[in-house]
Amino acid sequence: MELTRLRGFRDLFGADARAMSLVEERARAIAKRYSIREIRIPVLERTQLYLRSTGETTDIVEKQMYTFTDRDEGETLVALRPEGTPGVVRAYIEAGFDRTEPEQRLFYSGPMFRRERPQKGRYRQFYQFGVEVFGRPDAACDAELLIMIDEFCRDLNVPFTMEVNSIGDQKCRPAFREALVKWGRAHWDQLCDDCHNRIDRNPLRLLDCKIDAKLAESAPNSLDSLCDECRAHFGTVKELLSAANVVYKLNPRLVRGLDYYTRTAFEVMAGGLGAQSTVVAGGRYDGLVETMGGSPVAGIGFAIGVDRMALAVEAALALPGAAPDAVIISIGAAATSRAVEIARDLRAANISVEMLSPERKMKTLLARASKIGARFAVIIGDDELTRGVVQLRDLKESAQQEVTVDNAVEIMKRARSG
């Protein structure tokens, strides 16, 4: 077939699709418990938005954006969103929140697009569940979000490690950058071509070099260059995490691939995912709202990689099946119209049912019921209709009894909990 899907884009069925939904549902539930409200933002934005926020020298902007010229008069350059943070910040400023109600706690959920080299856990369309909190410069907010992530991973039963670092702010970062450039020049011959390019443009990324991780161990680390304010802020974050019994690892060489971060940065890794093990990542971005034209308001957030978290969940949990509780089989026109009512009543009682075609043979219908894993078949013909009953067949036990619809509901509920 010529009309196949594009490389790096996925169709998801069955357990894979269910695991994605489960991650999103649990994330929504936990966001509610943390008083975080939903925001929906566009998938398409001006390319300029990402140049200004994600950063011109980042891999995302340099190599990975799906960007094209729109057909409007101004030939606007637009891009499919590679991440959610810039769009949320833009929406926040555009709604005037930075001036009227700076304190906002927002979450978003949906697809992002990056033209990366596809592999397990890395796709060109992937899903993020992200949280952004504005107007909270205090360390307690950093800790609260990290506690939330810890709770989320536990809730999903996924074994994980959390790494945290502080990469300083506008005041102390220049010293760290300088130390890295100096170190890079001293080790020039050992660095890869990518790192040669990064050295002046984005020296923090020298620590991300995948070619020689050992070498990076001799590089300067961010904690050594922190100013007093950043050090105190990070100290409080660590204290609060310990007070909440959150287990984390200090990684002074953790830097993020996006430009807007200040102070606290973090990543959460799950086991069993191979090279693409980072399932949650984020940090503080105190200067970003102002850089993008708003008032100076603090920001902090993170994004869950839903696809990767779903892979981890599938490995960790036996997902509940998608099988319905019952099928309904009707014989004859009058019985079929009663069957429609019964289906409605069963669904209202939270019993999942699939109505089968009244035009097929009983044998075919029972084969369908067993294929989709239904435990029961509710069967109704003219005879049952006149007597106000149904035949309830337990497909697992191969037993059948005549019952009222109310009785059938009771039996099916009991079977589910037993």
Question: Footprint of ligand HAM on this chain (CB under 6 A)?
Answer: 83-85, 114, 116, 121-123, 126, 128, 130, 132, 258, 278-279, 281-283, 301-303, 305, 307-308
- Shorter beta-carbon distance to ligand HAM: residue 113 or 183: 113
CB 301, min distance to ligand HAM, A: 3
CB 80, min distance to ligand HAM, A: 12
Alpha-carbon distance 117 to 345, whole Å? 50
- Shorter beta-carbon distance to ligand HAM: residue 102 or 121: 121
CB 268, min distance to ligand HAM, A: 8
Kindly tell me the sign of the dihedral angle through the C-alpha atoms of 394, 399, 404, 407: negative
Q: Which residues of 13-47 are buried (b: 16+ CB within 10 A; e: fewer)?
A: eebeebbbebbbebbeebbeebebeebebeeebbb
CA nearest to 129, candidates 112, 154, 113? 112
Alpha-carbon distance 206 to 346, whole Å? 60
CB 288, min distance to ligand HAM, A: 9
CB 291, min distance to ligand HAM, A: 14
- Shorter beta-carbon distance to ligand HAM: residue 107 or 376: 107
Alpha-carbon distance 356 to 335, whole Å? 13
Q: Is 363 exposed, middle or buried (0-12, 13-18, 19+ CB in 10 A)?
A: exposed
Query: Phi then psi for 273, rounded to 5 degrees?
Result: -105, 0
Query: Phi then psi for 236, rounded to 5 degrees?
Result: -65, -40
Per DSSP, what are the bridge partners of residue 132?
106, 301
CA distances for 6 relative to 12, 57, 110, 123, 307, angstroms = 14, 27, 19, 11, 17
- Shorter beta-carbon distance to ligand HAM: residue 220 or 283: 283
Alpha-carbon distance 84 to 341, whole Å? 44
- Shorter beta-carbon distance to ligand HAM: residue 288 or 392: 288
CB 138, min distance to ligand HAM, A: 17
CB 42, min distance to ligand HAM, A: 15
Residue type for position 344: R
- Shorter beta-carbon distance to ligand HAM: residue 31 or 303: 303
- Shorter beta-carbon distance to ligand HAM: residue 278 or 391: 278
- Shorter beta-carbon distance to ligand HAM: residue 128 or 202: 128
- Tell me which residue has its CB nearest to ligand HAM: 305
Scan for tokens 């057909």, then name that residue: 71
CB 343, min distance to ligand HAM, A: 39
